[in-house]
Amino acid sequence: MSIFKDLKLNISAKFKQFLPAQPCVLCGSMSHFGLWCEPCDAAMPYLDTNVCPVCALPTTSGEICGHCLQTPPAYQHTQAAFGYQFPVDRLIQAMKYQEQLALTGIFAEKLLSRVDKTHLPDYLIPMPLHPAKLKQRGFNQALLIARPLADALNIPLLTNACHRLRDTPSQTDLPWSERTKNVKDAFNCEKDLTGKHVALIDDVMTTGASLNELARAVQKCGARDIRAWVVARTRPHQPVQYENSLSDLPSDRG
């Protein structure tokens, strides 16, 4: 990262101290820190343990896991900010299904703090929604997370390069064993990416099936280095850490 970007981030951090206090979305205490307060931030399930660099699932010492060695996905690396567990799971659900879109900015900020600034991609590509799903929901949360990332890193955001060809059932409604079949050949890419490094942006990686199919589509267009940047990664045997209500999350949709 250049000295100018470092300066920008430092100024942003100091600026937060002068923002009006607002109730923390998790505990309700007044906070100058952002949508959630510093104590709640310290308790968030950041993905700080050793993980496979390819799929971001836990490994003993950060080595590539056996599954990725035996069946490598089309992407070469995964970066996640959080484990997908409480309260991050509730926050992401509130963003997607309760239109709490103010959360997209802080998710982008947390993901930005985790990505490798020494190996930046040529393009960012958000996970596309099928037009029918986009019409129903009214927004693409992956695109809303990707925009501030693209601005902060000065990387072109390809909003129309990739498309979802089929309105597939939601992955969350299917058993893990059926998710790969559900999204097989569900995407296409129309941009020449020969020799390019791209990062695919999504909110959650569970099995990685959707991101793998999108990665296959951009790989067919010549991308040579494909990374997945996600807000949260589902992990096995996740403990529940909180029991709070998120019904009063702030909305920026009126």
Mean pLDDT value across the chain = 85
Alpha-carbon gap, residue 34 to 22, rounded angstroms = 8
Q: Percentage of residues in the chain with pLDDT exceeding 70?
A: 79
pLDDT confidence of residue 224: 93
Using one digit for the tens of pLDDT, what is the confidence trace for 138-182?
999 999 999 999 999 999 999 999 999 887 756 566 565 566 666
What's the confidence (pLDDT) of residue 19? 61
Q: How confident is the model at residue 184 (pLDDT cuts 50, 70, 90)?
A: confident
Determine the Cα–Cα distance for residues 202 and 142; give it in Å rounded to an integer.
5
Q: Is 186 helix (H, G, I), strand (E, B) or coil?
A: coil
Q: How many CA atoms lie within 13 A of 252 on its CB side?
A: 10
Instruction: At 109, list the tokens.
Output: 């900020």
pLDDT digits (tens, 9 = 90+) for 58-72: 999 999 999 999 999
Measured distance CA(133)–CA(112) in Å, rounded? 27
- Residue range 82-101: mean pLDDT, rounded: 94
The string of pLDDT tens digits covering residues 216-230 is 999 999 999 999 999
Q: Is 131 exposed, middle or buried (0-12, 13-18, 19+ CB in 10 A)?
A: exposed
How far apart are the C-alpha atoms of 243 and 134, rounded to whole Å? 31
> Can you give the pLDDT at residue 11?
41
- Give the pTM: 0.83
pLDDT at 61: 95
Domain edges within the chain:
1-43, 45-233
Most confident of 14-23, 32-41, 52-61: 52-61
Question: In CATH, which of 3.10.28, 3.40.50, 3.40.1010, 1.10.287 is domain 45-233?
Answer: 3.40.50
How far apart are alpha carbons 89 and 94 in whole angstroms?
9
Task: Provide, rounded to the nearest whole percent, the portion of the chain with pLDDT above 90.
Answer: 67
Considering only residues 17 and 130, tell me which one the structure prediction assigns the higher pLDDT: 130
Indicate whether 247 pLDDT > 50.
Answer: no
